[in-house]
Structure formats: C-alpha cells, structure tokens
Amino acid sequence: MAINLDRNLLDELGLGSLPEEEKGGLLNHIYETLEMRVGMRLADQMTNEQLDEFEKYFEAKDDAGAFKWLETNFPNYKDIVQDEFNKLKEEVKLSAPQILQASAPAATDAPAEPPAQS
C-alpha cells in the first residue's frame, strides 16, 4: 500500500474543507511527524554501529543510499512506516473537528461575552 500525503488524504481525514493556505502546512506537519516516529522506532531497534552507519547517509543527504541500507538491514521497515502512518491517520482523523474549528474564522453571529466585572 502506497503512502500518499496529498489533498486526498486530507479529504479522507475529514479535513478537505480546510482553507487552501493551511493544507500544505498540515501535510508537511504530517510528513515530519511520520518521519520522526518511524525514525524513533527504527533507532530503537538499531545497534550503536547501525545508528552510526545510517547517520552517515542522513548527514550526506543520500536518500537513495539510506533506503537501500534500510532495505538491507531492516527488510520490514516499510511495514513500520505503514503501521505508523495508520496510527497517525487515526490520530489526525480524531482531531479533525478541533483542527477545523481552530482554522475557522470567528463566528460573527455569536453572542458577545459581557465584559468581566471587576
């Protein structure tokens, strides 16, 4: 199963009505969160030597080398990515009403709060 971080994902999560200017930022946040969670799970399974090896690819910005290294050393890494993606999707879906509410402009027909009495 492919992971697509795009507008269709936001629709699936109930966030298709977000303003366009907020969609890109949210997709970027989802990507960064997924990357961090996968990295933490993989790092927990690596020896210090493996961490050092993998870090060299990361520091060199050698994505192709890093993925090849992961496929060799952690053949199940794609399962970990999918598992973390599924968890993250569920979390975002549960938070969708709050996310939409936070992005909505303040309602103009809401009754005004009376000023606090001191």
pLDDT digits (tens, 9 = 90+) for 56-92: 998 999 989 999 999 999 999 999 999 999 999 999 9
Q: What is the mean pLDDT of residues 21-30?
A: 93
pTM: 0.79
- Is 92 exposed, middle or buried (CB count within 10 Å of its CB: 0-12, 13-18, 19+)? buried
Q: Is 14 left (phi over 0), alpha (psi -120 to 50) or beta?
A: left
Q: What is the mean pLDDT of residues 99-115?
A: 64
Distance of CA 57 to the CA centre of its chain: 22
Give the number of residues written for the chain: 118
Whether the pLDDT of residue 103 is over 90: the answer is no
> With the CA atoms of 34, 36, 38 and 44 taken in that order, what torsion angle do they form, in degrees rounded to the nearest 10?
-160
